Structure 1
């Protein structure tokens, strides 16, 4: 099985494990913290809050859900799962295609460049053309990164509004990991637009 497909399968199993009754109270507290008014009205924020806690958060007794799940595995599968503690959330400006199922993208939160792939294949990146801004999370898979959870894709003409609005979002993390550092820069080809930026919600496993 391709490593990206394997990662997608493991991710699905992890999220089923995380949303089991065993962790119900902790997960509820996380979601309430992300939506203090009690209305879950943003799928991307819901996904970011949930996944950030699963990958990096701690339960009351100090355990981590990802680490508990990884105990069920051994060898390469366990190592892959534990590498997801380097989960990154950000505002990614798409630069160019990367193979049939990926893109090269610059993260305006940590100012690093990532090779991001989708476990859904070419279908998962067909809307991610150069200039599009992707707001979401990624996890390492081998030398690349896999899209994780719900993401929001904004057209290039709205990029100048998206970066100030989401670059310091409440769920954003700043991680260096193994990505390639680049110099800081603003979106080069963005142009002003009026009104609220339009977006497309994208699902990843």
Structure 2
């Protein structure tokens, strides 16, 4: 099928999908999504509502683990052709981007995603008039999906928000913030992802040079000071690599590492464990020293508070399996005794049962693709940030 034919068919099927997703069987779930998208006063503008519904249909997992899109594809009558099924299921691959408009090419527009530093050829199922609000050199924030896996074409989904050239710093800041909070967005650009791994390795080596090890247990204030010094060193290194005095002056105007402050619950802890892992990067763990002492001397399990804390480490999804693995690695001969007491299972063996335990209690961590904790920015985004 030609691009025009694919766009026409995509428009027809998207209309059917929207009607299906707005049906009574999904009404309660859709209401929840729209409520979550509203502002603090309960107001929801049309554009935000459209994006929320698009997310609901393409990405939100229902109670059976499927999306509305998957249910539509499976239940549509008459059944979809294999080619149509392939096209629709490809819409799960949503890119939410901050784009700079490069130029128009026929009915398509070339959009440079400032987040992953890649250029996408994007169409609208409304044709060229779907891009009436944008011009070359302006910016767009929105969502795109593959038109069909057999092409390199992409299609706008939901709606988009255009911005003038004068909004470049606002858009650049938004793109940088997305990269900071979601480093997985780099996965589309292998070169940027590899660079992020390299930078993380450099930072880890510098941390080890600073403190002498990749795991250190400190009182809260010392842990905070150690983190501040680490980030100060990285900031100085970054400034040294910048090209111009103007750029350095602007960078120095940003909040310095000296303002870094741990959360109050961290500052009131007995100790904090700082671990710079090769994969997961730099993490800090509350009261790590108490658990380290427990694994060093399992008789301390008589203090039920230590077992309670270990159970919290095990059950809290925000705590990576890394912390528990490090405790076991530091005291391998005592791991069985500690977990037998915690789980009340006399036959527990960490060598045999440990990974299964972590997979059951921390499933989401095993479902994630390993990614660096550090993000890199492309050349164009770096220019806009400067």
Alpha-carbon deviation of 1:38?
A: 5.2
The answer to whether the 8 A contact 1:32-1:38 is kept is no
CA distance in 2 between partners of 1:106 and 1:69 (Å): 32
Of 78, 103, 115, which aligns to 1:96?
103
Is structure 2 residue 166 aligned with structure 1 residue 157?
A: yes
- State whether structure 2 residue 148 is matched by structure 1 residue 139: no
Q: Which is strand-richer, 1 or 2?
A: 1
Contact preservation (8 Å) 2:140, 2:160: yes
Greater mean alpha carbon deviation, residues 125-134 or residues 41-50: 41-50
Measured in 1, the distance between the counterparts of 2:157 and 2:103 equals 20
1:1-205 correspondence to structure 2 within 5 Å: 2-35=5-38, 37=40, 39-71=42-74, 72=76, 73-99=80-106, 101-141=107-147, 142-165=151-174, 168=177, 174=185, 176=187, 184-186=378-380
Q: 1:79-102: CA deviations, max 9, x gaps?
A: 100000101111111111122x11
TM-score w.r.t. the length of structure 2 is 0.44
- CA deviations 1:160-196 (Å, max 9, x no partner) are 2233246646xx883756x897881336997xxxxxx
Unmatched tracts of structure 1, length 5 or more: 191-205
Q: C-alpha displacement at 1:37, in angstroms?
A: 2.5
- SS of residue paired to 2:15: helix
Deviation at 1:69, TM superposition (A): 0.8
> Higher relative contact order at CA 8 Å, sep ≥6: structure 1 or structure 2?
1
CA 1:67 to 1:181, structure 2 compared with 1: closer, same or farther past 3 Å? farther
Distance (whole Å) between structure 2 residues aligned to residue 90 and residue 66 of structure 1: 21
Q: Deviations over 1:10-61 (max 9, x none)?
A: 1111111111111111111111122252523333332222212211210123
How many residue pairs match? The answer is 187
The answer to whether the 8 A contact 2:114-2:175 is kept is no
**Structure 1 residues 148 and 36, CA, compared in 2 at 3 Å: closer, same or farther?**
same
The CA RMSD over aligned residues, in Å, is 2.8
Q: 1:188 to 1:110 in 2, by over 3 A?
A: closer
| 2:92 partner SS | helix
Give the distance between the partners of 1:48 and 1:7, measured in 2 at CA.
18
Shift of 1:66: 0.5
Q: Is the 8 A contact 2:95 2:144 kept in 1?
A: yes
> Is the 8 Å Cα contact of residues 86 and 175 (structure 1) preserved in structure 2?
no
CA distance in 1, matches of 2:59, 2:8: 23
- The structure with the largest alpha-carbon Rg is 2
With normalisation by structure 1, the TM-score equals 0.78
Higher helix share: 2
